[in-house]
Amino acid sequence: KTQVTYSKIRRNGILKKAKEISVLCDAHVSVIIFCTSGKMHEFSSTPLVDILDQYHKLTGRILWDAKHEVN
């Protein structure tokens, strides 16, 4: 139980810092955390697709494409 509580506190701390960075630095921030239990936790200051598009434009690397779209 101690490990679960510690992990929850650390995860919430990371998500809180991501929110703070987005506000204090006027930055676009996205964080996705997958726990070993299979649960997902996420924060995105702007739509994730916008962040991925910007990443692609700046790096030339595609992290997301049409095969990932849900119809």
Task: Tally Cβ neighbours within 10 Å of residue 61.
Answer: 8
Task: Let me know: does 52 contact 64? Beta carbons within 8 Å.
Answer: yes
pLDDT at residue 66 above 80? no
Task: Let me know: does 31 contact 15? Beta carbons within 8 Å.
Answer: yes
pLDDT at residue 53 above 80? yes
- The mean pLDDT of the chain is 88
Q: DSSP assignment, residue 41?
A: E
In tens, the pLDDT along 4-37 reads: 777 888 999 999 999 999 999 999 999 999 988 8
